[in-house]
């Protein structure tokens, strides 16, 4: 057990030292560009030490399928101040499924006109949702589940993954 611990610590030290090595860049008298971890010959006047970025890869907490759904079928929730109970129910539903969404609020006649044009309707029936190019007026859990399922969103929130927190509702007409 002690040997394993010593080996692991040695590897950690070696890895940290290897990561901290200096890199040199110079151009010789023939115009040849050289990169090396060794200092250049003494006759080289201009030496650069480029800084390399970390080699880590940023990853999402979401599985690939959920990332694809969010990229290809963004979700927008349409609400209004007088839609308190139903709009709250819709927000809770989306959060339970772990869906990242943008909320747009109907605050004036321009917003209402933009909504009517988008949904190709004469009236407002809120809450409403778009999932990519798919649209649904009014909250009906089964229908909304169908839209989200067909777009590839997970049925339940992914443990330890947090969707982007929704921002304050933005007006529709912008």
Q: What does the alpha-carbon distance between residue 132 and residue 8 come to, in Å, rounded to a whole number?
A: 49
Q: Residue 39 — pLDDT band, cuts 50, 70, 90?
A: confident
What are the pLDDT digits (tens) for 77-106? 999 999 999 999 999 999 999 899 999 999
Q: Which long-range contacts (CB under 8 A, 24 or more apart) does 91-96 make?
A: 91/166, 93/139, 93/141, 93/144, 95/157, 95/163, 96/156, 96/157
* pLDDT at residue 72 tops 60: yes
pLDDT at 20: 56
* pLDDT at residue 26 tops 70: yes
For the chain, where do the domains classified as CATH 3.40.30.10 start and end?
64-171
Q: What does the alpha-carbon distance between residue 125 and residue 139 come to, in Å, rounded to a whole number?
A: 9
Q: Residue 37 — pLDDT band, cuts 50, 70, 90?
A: confident
Q: What is the mean pLDDT of residues 64-86?
A: 93
Instruction: Note the CATH number of domain 64-171.
Output: 3.40.30.10
What are the pLDDT digits (tens) for 127-141? 999 999 999 999 999
pLDDT at 108: 94
* pLDDT at residue 29 tops 80: yes
Q: Which residues contact 7 (CB under 8 A, 6 or more apart)?
A: none
């Amino acid at each position: 057990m002690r040997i394993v611990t010593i080996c692991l610590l040695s590897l950690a030290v070696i890895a940290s030292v290897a990561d901290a090595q200096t890199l040199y860049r110079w151009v010789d008298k023939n115009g040849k560009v050289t990169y090396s971890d060794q200092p250049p010959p003494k006759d080289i006047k201009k030496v650069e030490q480029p800084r390399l970025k970390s080699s880590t890869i940023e990853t999402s907490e979401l599985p690939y399928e959920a990332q694809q759904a969010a990229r290809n079928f963004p979700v927008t929730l349409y609400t209004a101040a007088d839609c308190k109970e139903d709009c709250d129910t819709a927000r809770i539903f989306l959060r339970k499924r772990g869906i990242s969404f943008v909320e747009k609020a109907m605050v004036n006649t321009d917003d209402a006109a933009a909504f009517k044009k988008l949904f190709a309707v004469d009236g407002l029936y809120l809450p409403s949702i778009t999932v990519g190019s798919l649209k649904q007026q009014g909250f009906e859990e089964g229908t909304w589940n169908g839209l989200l399922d067909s777009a590839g969103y997970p049925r339940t929130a992914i443990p330890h993954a947090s969707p982007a927190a929704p921002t304050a509702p933005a007006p529709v007409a912008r």
